[in-house]
Amino acid sequence: MIPGSMQPYALTLDKFLDHAAKWHPRSEVVTAGEDGKSARVDYAELKVRAKRVSAALAGRGVGQGTCVATMAWNTQAHLESWYGIIGMGAICHTLNPRLLPLQLSAMLTQSGARILILSADLHELAHEVLAQTSTIEEILVIDGNIEPGTVTNGACKVGTLNNAAAAVKGGGSVAWGRFDENTPCGLCFTSGTTGPPKGVTYTHRGNYLHTMRQLQADVAGLTSQDSVLTVVPMFHANAWGLPFSVPAVGGKLVLPGRQSDGPALARLIVDEQVTIGVGVPTVWLGLMDYLDQAETDVPTLKRIMVGGAPMPPALMERIERRGIGVQTTWGMTEISPLGTATPLAEANAASTSGRPAIGIDLMLTDAAGEPLAQQRDAKGDLWVRGPSVVERYLDQTEPATRDGWFDTGDLARIDASGTLSIVGRSKDLIKSGGEWINPAEIEAIVSAHPDVSMAAVIGREHPKWGERPVLVVEIRQGVELSDEALLDRLNGLVANWWLPDSVLRVPTMPLAATGKIDKLLLRSEYGRL
């Protein structure tokens, strides 16, 4: 007997735009402009433009496995770049413009990217980054135009991506796909659970399966009739996969550019008849504040998906009073990033994060990493596994997993129904406004002061940002040291939004049995409002 078989079909991300261009050619990608006007392109034209990007990059020596960096906002041009890079088998390295030049230059050096695709208004930051790295050979500007001298001292070429694409003869003939589905497609750096930023390499297969998971009815449940406002940045955690999942169903993809204030979002929601919004809680707080002040509404908005930071219960109530459903989620960069979501049809609470969809498995362990005998109605360290979960960080030889499981660094509870709630973090990172702050970096700088005996940074509850850092210090006896003197040491060494909101002084730093600073005690005493 000769067994039957199925057709070979590599799970590569170019197929999503191919599908959208063929079967939903008139569905649109809309980008908000700073002048209140929106630019729009349909999927058929977007594919043509993205193919030209591929051809322009190929003419510059980019091929399968080549890393191309982007530092840009949520715009059509950035989306074209994404597909132009990944469609040809290259790797899209997204850079977060909220980070310091020193951090960004280190990431570029590690990735080895030779080309940087840059939003025009980020030219000053790019200039500082280029002064600290020699990897970038050419900058291709999008979303505007700039003079070459404003970005670089002449060490690398500067042009526009539009001109580069327009110069391609024949409109571009680079083939998409035709490579293994395990080929890397993206690179995003995360603070991880400990230590300096680590590179998470996404694969086509991992992101394809993540897209399928996101489209399930109990997760995002997107349809061709939806207009999806993607406020979560494209440089942050894979944009939660929306640049792939929305075209996959032929929905309208609405991109806010760099504007995420309440009035701008409200106008965009009304103009584009947005049905679903996706972003961190602070975004929706700004929207609700504006709607209350303006005494207006966004009647087409049916639900929002929120994640990246704890959801304040009061904010959730304000949203739901307007008839807008709220789906809480949990995820992280290392899992591509969506892990769990609360089905919209079920009772929801701000403290819960939903259940995993097919393709994600969860496990609770004790502090030693041993699985708990009871996994329901239990609390422990959260581990995760699945085809879109990191196995090994960039340039690291050792796996990031143990027996196939990844330690998230979160403390969690899973109730009898399988609903996940994040109750704390076993590791030390602070999540403020959906972004990670690494206390160790702040502590190292402050502790270097000769008059500081010990220093610790903890997260304190904050109604807007979820958490904000607080510096706790033990000063040498008999020494006078101002708060300003302590905080001034951090200027230029950490991002401004990393700066502690306040300084708390203790006569003696509490120590745990191990001799380390007892941060659990500090959090219990100083971590609440």
Which runs of consecutive H residues, i.e. helices, occur in 140-198?
Answer: 161-166
Phi, psi of 239 (to 5 degrees): 55, 30
The residue from 401, 436, 461, 474 that is catalytic is: 436
The CA angle 507-499-438, to the nearest 5 degrees, is: 85
Phi, psi of 348 (to 5 degrees): -120, 150
Neighbours of 286 (CB within 10 A): 19
What would the CATH number be for the domain defined by 14-321?
Answer: 3.40.50.12780
Domain residue spans in the chain?
A: 14-321, 346-425, 430-526
Q: What contacts 376, CB < 8 A, 6 or more positions away?
A: 414, 415, 416, 418
Phi-psi map region of 338: left, alpha, beta (phi>0 left; psi -120 to 50 alpha): beta
Reply yes or no on whether 23 is catalytic.
no
Phi-psi map region of 310: left, alpha, beta (phi>0 left; psi -120 to 50 alpha): beta
Could you tell me which of 330, 332, 311 has the C-alpha nearest to residue 320? 311
Query: Strand pairing partners for 456?
Result: 472
Please tell me the predicted confidence (pLDDT) of residue 418: 96
Q: Which amino acid is at 163?
A: N
Q: What contacts 22, CB < 8 A, 6 or more positions away?
A: none
Q: What contacts 346, CB < 8 A, 6 or more positions away?
A: none
What would the CATH number be for the domain defined by 346-425?
Answer: 2.30.38.10
Q: List for the chain the helix, strand, coil content (%; round to 5).
A: 30, 25, 45
Evaluate whether 174 touches 51 at the Cβ level (below 8 Å): yes
Cα–Cα distance for residue pair 322/297, rounded to 1 Å = 8
Q: What is the pLDDT along the chain (529 residues), one digit of tens a residue?
A: 899 999 999 999 999 999 999 999 999 999 998 887 899 999 999 999 999 999 999 999 999 999 999 999 999 999 999 999 999 999 999 999 988 899 899 999 999 999 999 999 999 999 999 999 889 999 999 988 777 566 665 678 899 999 999 998 876 789 999 999 999 999 999 854 445 789 999 999 999 999 999 999 999 999 999 999 999 999 988 899 999 999 999 999 999 999 999 999 999 999 999 999 999 888 998 999 999 999 999 999 999 999 987 788 888 989 999 999 999 999 999 999 999 999 988 877 888 999 999 999 999 999 899 999 999 999 999 999 999 999 999 999 999 999 999 999 988 999 999 999 988 777 778 989 988 888 888 988 998 888 888 889 999 999 999 999 999 998 988 888 999 999 999 999 999 999 999 999 999 888 765 557 888 889 889 988 7
The residue from 15, 198, 252, 431 that is catalytic is: 431
Query: Strand pairing partners for 340?
Result: 330, 356
Q: Which amino acid is at 322?
A: R
Cα–Cα distance for residue pair 503/488, rounded to 1 Å = 12
| Residue 208, burial from CB neighbour count under 10 angstroms (0-12, 13-18, 19+) | buried
Cα–Cα distance for residue pair 262/266, rounded to 1 Å = 6
The residue from 28, 80, 181, 334 that is catalytic is: 334
Please tell me the predicted confidence (pLDDT) of residue 432: 92
In angstroms, what CA-CA distances link 35 with 14, 39, 178, 283, 505?
32, 11, 41, 20, 48
Please tell me the predicted confidence (pLDDT) of residue 194: 47
Please tell me the predicted confidence (pLDDT) of residue 351: 87
Reply yes or no on whether 436 is catalytic.
yes
Q: What is the DSSP letter of 357?
A: P
Query: Strand pairing partners for 466?
Result: 462
Evaluate whether 385 touches 293 at the Cβ level (below 8 Å): no
Angle between helices 43-58 and 14-23 (to 10 degrees): 140
Token pair recorded at residue 518: 């007892």
Q: What contacts 277, CB < 8 A, 6 or more positions away?
A: 228, 229, 231, 265, 269, 283, 284, 301, 303, 304, 305
Q: What contacts 291, CB < 8 A, 6 or more positions away?
A: 262, 266, 297, 298, 322
pTM of the model: 0.89
Token pair recorded at residue 119: 């939003």
Token pair recorded at residue 122: 């980020």
Q: Which CATH architecture describes the domain 430-526?
A: 2-Layer Sandwich (3.30)
Cα–Cα distance for residue pair 117/141, rounded to 1 Å = 6
Please tell me the predicted confidence (pLDDT) of residue 3: 93
